[in-house]
Structure 1
Amino acid sequence: MKSLSDNFSYEGKQLFKKGGEIIEVIEHIANLIPEDNEALQSIKEIMLHDAYQLQVKVSGAEAIDLYDLKMEAASFIRKAAKDLIVQKHALEMFDFEDSGYFDIVRELIEEYRLLFIQWVAKFDKWDYIIDRWGLFNPPGVSPHDKDPDDDIPF
């Protein structure tokens, strides 16, 4: 049986795999959170959501070719990873006694970040649609540029 990541780029597979390692550790930490602490339960949900985004968004980006859409997915991944890093502070603030385990997550996210950089560098900058909002255009492309496809008569 083929796995979901069989059609991924090499870099995408590595990133997806590391995301799975992060999810696994987050799930273990989440299982240590007391059921009767509402604040920690809320943090748990946020952590799990952010962790799952690390694989979901890689899958989405690997399924498309357009640079602007890949970059949009990459921005969600970056936000989720950065949000995960600071969750240790939230756990400590609410006296979670096992927050020290979160250092493992931080180490894994640093490894993930390095893989992420390699992955994004492989995006095809020539396969794009102009992002008229100006956030996810390849270098040298402006949201005000004329779209060459506008001259194609349909």
Structure 2
Amino acid sequence: MSKPWEHLPIYKKADEIRTLVDSVVEITIESIMNYSTEEEGKMIDDSINYLVDNSILIPAKIAEASHDDALYDQQMESATLIRKAAKELLADARTLQDFGFKETEYLDVLRTEIETFRVLFLEWIDTFDPWNYVSDNWGLFNPPNIDFDDDDLDDDDLPFDFDDSDDDLF
């Protein structure tokens, strides 16, 4: 049984990017890379791991933000993480290229696909309803003209009671 978000163009593109990243990773693992220190080798390994992690995170966050009951602040938080992950895909692809990844045509395709994804992303976030919200007491993802300290925000909106906490979090 397919989920509603699986039919979204942005989700389909994210899944294509994930598949492309899998191919890049497989080729990279089989490639001879140019590095001279253990730290540089670790940078390559980290870049490979980050490519995989970010390519998995993107469709997961699209699915999370596409639930019918997702509130605006939740959607925007997911969108922020998606944007960050996509930008990191580009940075890690550049790292691989800098260390001698020879099959640069795959990286060029990845860059093109991420640019296509970016356009779909902009269209997708335009569908978010900013008035389907609960005040964000951190102040990042409130609709226009709604402040984190508005009267409709009180301690009941918090996921736990600070007074009952034994730990001093702040």
* TM-score, normalised relative to structure 2: 0.77
Structure 1 Cα separation of the partners of residues 143 and 19 of structure 2: 34
Q: Does 1:57 align with 2:86?
A: no
What amino acid does structure 2 have at the position aligned with 1:58? I
Report the CA distance between 1:24 and its aligned residue.
1.0
* Corresponding residue for residue 28 of structure 2: 33
Cα 1:128–1:51 change in 2 (3 A) is same
RMSD: 2.1
Structure 2 Cα separation of the partners of residues 126 and 112 of structure 1: 26
Structure 1 Cα separation of the partners of residues 145 and 83 of structure 2: 23
Q: Does 1:16 align with 2:11?
A: yes
Q: Does 1:42 align with 2:37?
A: no
* Corresponding residue for residue 38 of structure 2: none
Cα 1:41–1:149 change in 2 (3 A) is closer
* Corresponding residue for residue 79 of structure 2: 74
What amino acid does structure 2 have at the position aligned with 1:34? I
More helix as a share of residues: 1
Output one character per residue of 1:77-106: Cα deviation in whole Å (capped at 9) or x when no partner: 000001111222200222222234211111
Q: Is the 8 A contact 1:92 1:99 kept in 2?
A: yes
Q: Does 1:107 align with 2:112?
A: yes
Structure 2 Cα separation of the partners of residues 127 and 74 of structure 1: 16
Number of residue-to-residue matches in the alignment: 145
From the CA coordinates, give the structure whose radius of gyration is larger.
2
Q: Which runs of 4+ in 1 moved over 2 A?
A: 34-42
Cα 1:91–1:54 change in 2 (3 A) is same
Structure 1 Cα separation of the partners of residues 130 and 92 of structure 2: 34
Which of 118, 122, 125 is the aligned partner of 1:117? 122
Unaligned runs of 5+ in 2: 34-40, 156-170
Output one character per residue of 1:87-128: Cα deviation in whole Å (capped at 9) or x when no partner: 222002222222342111111111111111111111111110
Q: Percent identity?
A: 34
